[in-house]
Structure 1
Amino acid sequence: MNETHVIMDEAAIRRALTRIAHEILEKNKGIEGCVLVGIKTRGVPLAQRIAKRILEIEGTPVLCGEIDISSYRDDRKAGVPAVDCQELFPEPGISIEDKKVILFDDVLYTGRTIRAAMDALMDCGRPQMIQLAVLADRGHRELPIRADYVGKNVPTSRTEEIEVSLSETDEKDEVRIGSRREVLV
């Protein structure tokens, strides 16, 4: 990105995730029957951080898993989509069947990544419901998808880009906004 500026620093991200943890607990009347699933790559540490906050708040652990949706993306069809449902959670034998799945991603934009994640989850079972949590919602939906939990709404133009950096993947915590890089041909 050219000329960026920080719209969320480490403290703002921490506060947003704490708020989301409280909202999840309030909406679901606790955490019973809930599982958290992060979309690789940056949705995974967000889900893990929320699980940690919920444990601190409630004193109850919540299952936290991860999902790779790359074979489900509509812009990258390379054969039959498949997700290994046994690898959703680190513990063997865990199912999403009849669970409230809270799906995590870093940025919600067109909705296509979330649609792919929901397709992948549905191939693993029939959850009671799927809720969506994102760190940043930038608008410009192409599909009728909305987040249940949002860290920050960031109105953007289509020429702007949101870049999330997390310490687990990028060695720092911040959300930046800037104009897209121009590709020279």
Structure 2
Amino acid sequence: MNLPDIEQTCESLGEQIKAFAAERDLDDPLLVGIRTGGVWVAQRLQQYLNPHAEISVLDISFYRDDFTRHGLHPQVKGSELPDSIEDRHIILVDDVIMSGRTIRAAMNELFDYGRPASISLVCLLDIGRRELPIQPDLCGATIALNEGQLIKLGGPNPLTLSLA
């Protein structure tokens, strides 16, 4: 299987976000990356969007619906969001969307910080297999994986993709 070129995919996604934000008149959107891969992608996208814009970090460890089954991940670092996200336009960034459960957890956490004006979902890769009705607004590439295959994002510098 050929994986997409990550630099070209990020550049294309950055252009898509610019057009999306202009079309929807999203004034000063807050870029929020989901730890860890989503943060790496958000940092890369920031280079194409606005190198001086703030990036926030969301650690959804306590919001996962499998928390009681798997316990706490030993590297929980907490979220880094502004004091208020009330009425802010949020661009939520993740590396890979699969089941939709990570995004559900992320939205639950965001709403604990306030009521954003909107949340737009941007994912580097979509590998399908949804368990929840959650779709990205923008996606860099869609990949069909065989059963048992997973995508591994390495980073942050350089960002790399590999099959695991």
Which TM-score applies when normalising by structure 2?
0.84
Unaligned runs of 5+ in 2: none
Indicate the structure whose relative CO is greater, using CA pairs within 8 Å and at least 6 residues apart.
1
TM-score normalised by length of structure 1: 0.75
In the TM superposition, residue 51 of structure 1 has moved relative to its aligned partner by 1.4
Alpha-carbon distance between aligned partners in 1 of 2:158 and 2:18, rounded to the nearest angstrom = 27
Of Structure 1 and Structure 2, which has the larger fraction of its residues in strand? 1
Does 2:61 match 1:70? Answer: yes
| Segments ≥4 residues shifted beyond 3 Å | none
Counterparts of 1:110 and 1:67, CA distance in 2: 18
Report if aligned partners of 1:6, 1:177 keep a CA contact under 8 Å in 2. no
Asked if 1:108 corresponds to 2:97, the answer is yes
Unmatched 5+ residue regions in structure 1?
A: 179-185
Per the alignment, residue 181 of structure 1 pairs with none
1:32 aligns with 2:27: yes
Over alpha carbons, which structure has the higher Rg? Answer: 1
* Counterpart contact for 1:67–1:88, Cα < 8 Å: yes
AA paired with 2:146? S
1:99 aligns with 2:108: no
Percent of aligned pairs sharing the same letter: 36
* Matched AA of 1:20: L
Note closer, same or farther for the CA distance 1:41–1:84 as it changes in structure 2 (3 Å cut).
Answer: closer
Instruction: Show CA shifts across 1:147-172 (max 9, x none).
Output: 11111100123322111112x2xx54
- 1:135 paired with 2:158, answer no
Tell me the number of residue pairs that the alignment of Structure 1 and Structure 2 aligns.
Answer: 156
